[in-house]
């Protein structure tokens, strides 16, 4: 029986076919899909470390991205099934990867999970400028705005976006909560960009968003 370390190291070593076969096996054996997501994230982190150390180049990042994309295609029906079926439709959320950043695999995973939890998601895509977040927030009047970012440059974009959203929402009746997410996000970054809510993995993100919606009575 394969263990977590196998999947993490197959991804870290960019073994495409073996990764797909192992994930198929894990899903067939009934392993919790959220646990598989977490192993994939750890494997991707190791790819990132190897890139930073000069062991991999940009092609390695691209390859890792392609492997995770295929894994997520396999996982989608299982992730959908794993979510709370009794959850009523509640709340709306705008989600996007901030300006300068094009990483979207993590954002797409969190979108999938939030949708399965009954939250209507408006996905603005990647490299989204602050003005676009504001424009869509005025149009949709969401309960929550989620900003995704993985590279250092995204923190400045998050800060800019949050400042603009706060300034504009002064005049709105309904002020949205703002949550940031991404593998490198921590408390320090959350303070730097000026938000109260941050997560570095999707499962916690879903819990935080559901709690915020419950408090809002959405
Ligand atoms: C794959 C990858 C790429 C792919 C991305 C493909 C894609 N479509 O997304 C490609 C090849 C495009 C890429 C490009 C680059 N990359 Co890159 N990339 C990665 C890598 C290896 C994995 C990212 C990933 O998918 N992780 C897996 C997912 C599942 O995790 P996640 O994104 O963190 O998302 C989870 C949570 O954070 C959460 N979440 C995410 N967003 C949100 C939002 C909300 C609201 C919520 C609630 C939750 C949430 O849910 C997800 C599931 O749990 C990371 C390494 C790492 N540590 O992550 C480097 C990494 C992010 N990349 C890096 C770099 C440097 C780059 C480039 C600048 C390289 C270059 N020289 O061009 C470019 C940047 C391009 C740009 N302008 O954005 C650096 C960033 C370093 C830094 N501090 O700035 C990293 C950390 C690698 C490293 N250690 O050096 N990259």
- Does 129 share its domain with 25? no
Residue 158 CA to residue 180 CA, distance in Å, equals 8
Q: Which residues span the domain enclosing 163?
A: 92-216
Q: Which residue owns the Cα nearest ligand 1 atom 85?
A: 48
CB count in 10 Å sphere of residue 196: 11
CB 179 within 8 A of CB 145: yes
> Is residue 206 domain-shared with residue 99, that is, in the same domain?
yes
Domain count, the chain: 2
Q: Do 112 and 77 lie in a common domain?
A: no
CB atoms under 10 Å from CB of 5, counted, come to: 11
CB of 8 within 8 A of CB of 44?
no
The CATH number given to whatever domain includes residue 71 is 1.10.1240.10
Does the pLDDT value for residue 85 go beyond 60? no
Which residue in the list 103, 104, 148, 190 is annotated as catalytic? 103
Among 50, 82, 114, the domain-final residue is: 82
CATH of the domain at 185: 3.40.50.280
* Domain closes at, from 24, 56, 82: 82
The pLDDT-based confidence of 120 (bands split at 50, 70, 90) is very high
- In terms of domains, do 28 and 106 share one? no
Neighbouring residues of 8: CB distance < 8 A, sequence distance ≥ 6: 39, 42, 43, 46
Residue 154: active-site member: yes
Distance (angstroms) between ligand 1 centre and the Cα of 36 equals 18
Residues 50 and 112 in one domain: no
pLDDT band, very low/low/confident/very high, at 134 (cuts 50, 70, 90) = very high
Same domain flag for 143 and 62: no
Q: For ligand 1, atom 7, name the residue with the nearest CA.
A: 103
Selected catalytic residue, list 104, 143, 154, 190: 154
Does 114 lie in the same domain as 70? no
Domain-ending residue, one of 82, 116, 148: 82
Mark whether 70 and 98 lie in a shared domain: no
Give residue 102 CA to ligand 1 midpoint distance, Å.
8
Q: Is residue 212 part of a domain?
A: yes
pLDDT tens across 1-41, in order? 466 679 999 999 999 999 999 999 999 999 999 999 999 99
């Amino acid at each position: 029986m394969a263990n977590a370390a196998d999947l993490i190291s197959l991804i870290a070593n960019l073994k495409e076919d073996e990764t797909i076969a192992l994930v198929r096996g894990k899903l067939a054996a009934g392993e919790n899909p959220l646990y598989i997501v977490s192993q994939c994230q750890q494997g991707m982190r190791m790819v990132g470390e190897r890139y930073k150390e000069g062991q991999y180049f940009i092609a390695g990042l691209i390859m890792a991205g392609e492997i995770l994309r295929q894994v997520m295609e396999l996982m989608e029906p299982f992730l959908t099934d794993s979510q709370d079926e009794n959850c009523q439709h509640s709340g709306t959320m705008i989600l996007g990867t901030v300006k300068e950043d094009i990483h979207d695999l993590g954002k797409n995973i969190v979108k999938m999970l939030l949708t399965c939890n009954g939250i209507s998601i408006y996905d603005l895509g990647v490299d989204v400028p602050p003005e676009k977040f504001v424009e869509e927030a005025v149009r949709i009047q969401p309960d929550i705005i989620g900003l995704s970012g993985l590279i250092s440059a995204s923190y400045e974009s998050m800060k800019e976006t949050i400042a603009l959203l706060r300034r504009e929402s002064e005049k709105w009746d309904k002020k949205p909560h703002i949550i940031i997410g991404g593998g490198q996000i921590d408390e320090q970054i959350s303070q730097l960009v000026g938000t109260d809510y941050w997560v570095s993995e999707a499962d916690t993100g879903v819990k935080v968003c559901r709690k915020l919606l419950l408090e809002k009575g959405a």
